[in-house]
Amino acid sequence: MAKSKGTIGILTGGGDVPGLNPAIRAITVRALREGYRVLGIRRGWAGLVDLTPDAQADNAEHVVELGEDLVTRSARTGGTFLHTSRTRPSHLPRSRVPERAARAYVDETNDVTPLVLENLDFLGIDYLVPIGGDDTLSYGHRLHKEGIKVIAIPKTMDNDVPGTNYCIGFSTCVTRTIELTHQLRTSAGSHERFLIIEVFGRYAGFTALLPTLAGAADRCVVPEHPFDIDHLTELLSYDRSRNPSRYAVLLISEGAQLLGADKMMFEGDETDQYGHRKLGGIGDRVAALLKERSAQYNNGRTVNVISQRLGYLVRCGDPDALDSIVPMAFGNIALDLILAGRSGRLVSLSSGHYTDVPIDVVTASKKVVDVEKYYNPDRLRPTYTTFQGQPVFLVTGD
């Protein structure tokens, strides 16, 4: 039996998106054919925290050896068969510290990176491939600084990972947003209402901007620029009056803020290990304010409102064509880098070309919509001067 060239570990962290399983498959199939062993780390960084570095221990809940049959079957579906979590080993609550290490980590929040490094060594992982957003990949960057050979792959519905024009999951999110918005139009038109649709986007408004640019909505509100509710009401009332079916559509990012508000809207006070509270409610809040103000712009008659939060409807299910193809390419680029002996890289798509950049870019900046270049705050609409020479998804954030 030929000796293995080494061991590659793969994990997925943060929220699930369509396209993760195709990426896992691409890495695994190519790696196996190149002579590597491939391990899937389960539940993101949690697998590397909870694993017990003992050959006699049952670690089936934390790691699985990947074969071609398993990854090929899984690649036909959405989500991640390796499962995922928002575990952050550098900021782990005491309640989440494994029992075997409880005496060593007694603070309310602990940096258990030594445990992770110990477990990576126990598994014999030569290269680690985390697939995730900027939170997951920021810890990948931490491990890179600790000397682990890391090749990162970007995924997020928001398309907000710096250093790449495209993240796995974004195309499916935009596709579903357009489809669902058009389906909801029938109800909005039947009742002559405003239709307010809340979409993903904590800090970046790409998922509201692109569908609006594609004609899914009359107006959009993004996190990068606070909006005035009276101005919004006036614009939507104008749109509604010009529509033969007497309705108007707004896409609003979950992280959008009313002018004068000092914070985003959240579902509760609980935070995850990355310090994020769960966003939600701006759509309903704006819907109530629109109804309250609508009579001023509708000859004294109130306009009722449909408020819909898309949420997991755009995150679940199978990937679209682009989120089946791009993950395949990203996975193969990861293997190219490994075969070349390179690490500390982020697989990237820039100006329509596949490439890679230093992983440091993940923590160096925030990727948000360039308001001056792509968004008109007066009209609450996307703006552009020309499509000539623009990348396929137009709004890059670079």
Amino acid type, 28: T
**Residue 158 annotated to the active site:** yes
Query: Rounded to whole angstroms, what are the CA distances from 64 to 47, 83, 115, 208, 356?
Result: 10, 11, 19, 38, 28
**Calpha distance 155→136 (Å, rounded):** 10
Amino acid type, 65: E
Question: Where are any strands of DSSP class E within the chain?
Answer: 7-12, 37-41, 63-65, 92-93, 109-110, 127-132, 151-154, 194-199, 219-221, 248-253, 266-271, 277-279, 305-309, 345-350, 353-358, 375-376, 381-382
**Calpha distance 386→344 (Å, rounded):** 36
CB 303 within 8 A of CB 194: yes
DSSP 221-247: E-TTS-B-HHHHHHHHHHHHHHSTT--
Assigned token pair, 389 = 């020479």
Helix (H, G, I), strand (E, B) or coil at 9: strand
Q: Which of 126, 158, 160, 356 is catalytic?
A: 158
The residues, any chain, with a CB within 8 Å of residue 44's CB and separated by 6 or more, are 11, 12, 13, 14, 83, 84, 85, 86, 87, 132, 136
**Calpha distance 188→4 (Å, rounded):** 60
Exposure letters 345-382 (e unless 16+ CB within 10 A, then b): bbbbbbeeebebbebebbeeeebbbeeeebbebeebbb
CB 176 within 8 A of CB 321: no
Residue matched to tokens 């993101």: 44
Q: β-strands 381-382, 375-376: how paired?
A: antiparallel
**Calpha distance 274→264 (Å, rounded):** 17
**What amino acid positions are annotated as catalytic residues?**
158
